[in-house]
Amino acid sequence: MKTLVITGGSKGIGLATARLFAAEGYRVVNISRSPIALAGAVQLGIDIAEPDWAARHGEAVRAAVAGSERIALVHNAGLLTKDSVANVDAAALHRVLQVNVVACVQLDQLLLPLMGAGSAIVYVGSTLGEKAVAGSCAYVVSKHALIGLMRATCQDLAGRGIHTACVCPGFTDTEMLRAHVGQASEVLEALAGNVTFGRLIEPEEVARTIHFCALNAVINGAVIHANLGQFER
Ligand SMILES: NC(=O)c1ccc[n+]([C@@H]2O[C@H](COP(=O)([O-])OP(=O)(O)OC[C@H]3O[C@@H](n4cnc5c(N)ncnc54)[C@H](OP(=O)(O)O)[C@@H]3O)[C@@H](O)[C@H]2O)c1
């Protein structure tokens, strides 16, 4: 049996990814606060912003994957805040790092003992994992750290037959993006103007990239940008 374990499968890129894997015959286990709209999926209602979530829910997570030889683990849940190096407070920075980085390590440690050869760990990063823009300091820090975590994963799991990659989406039309920049059509058009294709990315396009990475061990340790080509300014 093959199983997808995904965080943040309730919305956006995560939901598109869960639907794609389900269509490919995977059992789906989703971790998020609100439920996933996918028939047959196992929903674990967990808030990964709580630092002790793994201690409280670890048994339920492990039980949900019982009987799987191959696990595709997709760390997709993310928290995007507006802040700068001049004003981000320590608690807010800790919270973003907890959701975007520390929770990934916690989930890796819960599941690694159960992951056989042929399993994969895909981290969902961001264009902002390798560059910065003003006004998203904690997020930029966390997504750079996530690429480091992916690279450490590759090195530390040598010989286990488990591969890893970090998929870095660009401007993708989801709740997160619209909550961050607003719904105004002129703002969304301006964002699309940063993209050489002149449009936002659909969540399904990122989902297909995640799926490709999970299936192809040859990209082990790689940062894969999925941003439709952004203008370099
Ligand atoms: N959209 C973009 O333009 C874009 C660009 C670059 C990178 N990304 C990355 O892509 C990933 C998915 O983003 P998206 O745009 O699809 O965002 P989204 O539509 O806002 O979905 C975020 C998901 O994360 C889950 N989540 C957030 N906080 C959580 C928590 N404390 N505990 C459990 N689950 C939590 C949410 O579930 P609940 O709310 O139900 O808990 C939701 O399913 C993120 O890592 C994001 O940084 C997105």
**Closest-CA residue to 191 (of 176, 177, 207):** 177
Residue 233, pLDDT score: 79
Across residues 163-173, what is the average pLDDT?
A: 98
Q: Which two tokens mark 224?
A: 């894969």
Residue nearest atom 18 in ligand 1 by C-alpha distance: 176
Domains, the chain: 2-172+204-226 (3.40.50.720)
Close Cβ partners of 37 (under 8 Å, ≥ 6 residues apart)? 10, 15
Per-residue pLDDT band for 130 (boundaries 50, 70, 90) equals very high
Dmax (CA) of the chain:
50
Q: Whole-angstrom distance between the N-terminal and C-terminal Cα of the chain?
A: 47
pTM equals 0.98
Q: Which two tokens mark 84?
A: 């700068």
Q: Percentage of the chain surpassing pLDDT 70?
A: 100
Output the CA 124–ligand 1 centroid distance in Å: 9
34 lines ligand 1 (CB under 6 A): yes
Residue 68, pLDDT score: 95
Across residues 103-113, what is the average pLDDT?
A: 98
Across-strand partners of 201? 172
Kindly state the DSSP code that residue 217 receives in the 8-state scheme: G
Output the CA 140–ligand 1 centroid distance in Å: 15
Whether the pLDDT of residue 138 is over 90: the answer is yes
- CA distances, 101 to each of 67, 79, 150 (Å): 27, 10, 10
Q: d(Cα 114, Cα 62) in Å, to the nearest integer?
A: 8
Mutate to test the pocket of ligand 1, among 11, 53, 227 (most ligand atoms within 8 A of CB): 11
